[in-house]
Amino acid sequence: MTQGNCKTDIKASLVACFGNHFSGVKGAHHFLEELSINADSVSLEANEYLFKEHDTCQHFFILESGAMMLERSTASGSRQVFAFLVTNNLLGITESAHYSYGAKAITCSSLIRVNAKLLRNNFKKFSAVAKRYNDITGRILSLTLDHLFIMGQLSAHQRLAHFLLDIEQRINSDCPHFMLPMSRQDIADYLGISLETTSRGFSKLKNEGLIKVQGNSQITLLEREKLCEYSVL
Amino acid sequence: MTQGNCKTDIKASLVACFGNHFSGVKGAHHFLEELSINADSVSLEANEYLFKEHDTCQHFFILESGAMMLERSTASGSRQVFAFLVTNNLLGITESAHYSYGAKAITCSSLIRVNAKLLRNNFKKFSAVAKRYNDITGRILSLTLDHLFIMGQLSAHQRLAHFLLDIEQRINSDCPHFMLPMSRQDIADYLGISLETTSRGFSKLKNEGLIKVQGNSQITLLEREKLCEYSVL
DNA sequence: CGAGCCCTTGATGCATTTCAACGAATGTGG
DNA sequence: CCACATTCGTTGAAATGCATCAAGGGCTCG
């Protein structure tokens, strides 16, 4: 893990993370100023951990570039992936003093690191920040509930179709096709199914002409409508 | 749904919900005063809805007595239960203007209703409230992640064992046995398994002498140790 | 070229769902 | 007070979706 002090774009990333509307909010300017002074950047290689489960949490992070994942592992070696993160996503939100999940870089990534106490102390000065932070936590909760719903109600192939639609939206590239940064195993652990079932899912969607797959990770969604139908109960 | 104005115990419930440590926090007294003035109570019969999915959310609630559940249904009639709630649990936290789940009374229940805007506006006056509210949201997120982990990694019978241990702790009665307020179907939808599998799970745990079941809902955990072993991967 | 990694595909077994019947508890009206 | 309907839970048998085991293909890198 490399650390740096390059302040360039730190403020821009904070704005991007806290939302477009935020910069107009009362006190936002001062808040960003204060935060960016005390922020620094972190770089990670692929497969490197930003933090592990049970680590003490003293910072929160904003992902500037790359892709990361949040995961929890069992003693027996199985793993649940909670989320995949892309540019401008916030990570490190937790209610206890220790993380209940680990954060691992999928690709080479760079992040902005902010002292968590500094953020919380700003609640007093800038109530708008508290609201905004609440919104973000609430949004994460909402996404987690969606994930939970998927896991409880959809079949393996439906989960995969849903995942592809979801990830396309989040990566939001301008080209019609996109690249999956994570492995089949990562996807399997995210969806709570086996590696093989995931692979079969890709093959099935490919054979039915709903998606195109090039070189394992270049994906094109050919029939978005049908994928939607497919991923709904 | 019945509404009332009985202020008795409203403050006590607020304290219980916001935590023991809270009453010592700076500004807490004034905050509770202000909140309790604007709070009223709501009563629900069993199977009645406090609110449904997509309803506009203007309040949050504290469960005073009874039991409730949060759920999301599909067009095809299947359902995912997100949580069971008992006395002093908070509900209605959301990041958007509309609920993404419904809240249904399992048994006859009474709740305290507080205007959500009032709470958020108090962030400005009492930063400690903002922190505390954040803690609660974070705690809910943490519990949801646990649930997600269960759903992704454990087998049907393991999920049930885990559920029983979990619910016993939350009900926290002084007697060695406790009563499940929810039906087998509710449990099934919470665990993402079928009604029949749930029932078979109960039978299995009963036959192996890990639990005792009386009249469908009176449960005694006979072998807590073994249940723990059982519910871990 | 061979080693190693990731992905795919096939075959088999098992866990869980689904379909179906039955039993227990509760309530209703004759 | 007893047939009857209704709801809820249990249990069995059959079907199926998924995991697991196992083998092979394609890619990259030394």
User: CA A75, CA A55: separation in Å to the nearest integer?
Assistant: 17
pLDDT averaged over chain B? 89
Residues A47-71: what's their mean pLDDT? 94
Percentage above 90 pLDDT, chain B: 63
C-beta separation of A56 from A97 below 8 A = yes
C-beta separation of A159 from A205 below 8 A = no
Tell me the CA end-to-end span of chain B in Å, nearest whole number.
43
Per-residue pLDDT for B140 more than 70? yes
How many angstroms is C1' of C27 away from CA of B108?
20
- The lowest-confidence range among A23-32, A86-95, A96-105 is A23-32
Interface test with B, best of A123, A129, A186 (most B CBs within 10 A): A123
pLDDT for residue B4: 55
List of E strands, A137-206: 177-179
Distance to chain B for A129, nearest Cα, Å: 10
Interface test with B, best of A93, A95, A186 (most B CBs within 10 A): A95
- Taking an 8 Å cut-off on Cβ atoms, the answer to whether B130 and A130 are in contact is yes
A8 or B183, higher pLDDT: B183
Contacts of B209 by beta carbon, 8 Å cutoff, 6+ apart: B222, B223
- Nucleotides on chain C within 7 angstroms of protein Cβ: 6-11, 15-20, 25
Total-model pTM: 0.93
User: CA B73, CA B67: separation in Å to the nearest integer?
Assistant: 19
C-beta separation of B12 from B65 below 8 A = no
Distance to chain A for B8, nearest Cα, Å: 30
List of E strands, chain A: 2-4, 40-44, 49-51, 59-65, 68-73, 79-85, 90-91, 102-105, 109-115, 177-179, 211-214, 218-221
Q: Residue A30 corresponds to which tokens in the numbers above?
A: 């001062």
Name the pLDDT band for A20 (thresholds 50, 70, 90): low
pLDDT averaged over chain A? 89
If DSSP codes are grouped into helix, strand and coil, which group holds residue A88? coil
pLDDT for residue B219: 95
- Taking an 8 Å cut-off on Cβ atoms, the answer to whether A130 and B135 are in contact is no
User: CA B190, CA B197: separation in Å to the nearest integer?
Assistant: 13
Residues B120-143: what's their mean pLDDT? 84
Which residue in B has a C-alpha nearest to residue A136's C-alpha?
B95
- Taking an 8 Å cut-off on Cβ atoms, the answer to whether A135 and B78 are in contact is no
Percentage above 90 pLDDT, chain A: 62
Which residue is associated with the tokens 């953020």?
A: A119
- Taking an 8 Å cut-off on Cβ atoms, the answer to whether A96 and B142 are in contact is yes
pLDDT 10s digits, A95-150:
789 999 999 999 999 999 998 888 877 777 777 778 888 888 999 999 999 999 99
In angstroms, the Cα distances linking A189 to A50, B34, B143, B231 are: 19, 47, 19, 19
For B134, the closest of A100, A134, A233 (CB atoms) is A134
User: CA B197, CA B53: separation in Å to the nearest integer?
Assistant: 28
Instruction: List residues bridging with B212 in a β-sheet.
Output: B220
C-beta separation of A167 from B95 below 8 A = no
Chain B residues in contact with A100 by the CB 8 A cut-off are 142, 145-146
C-beta separation of B159 from B45 below 8 A = no
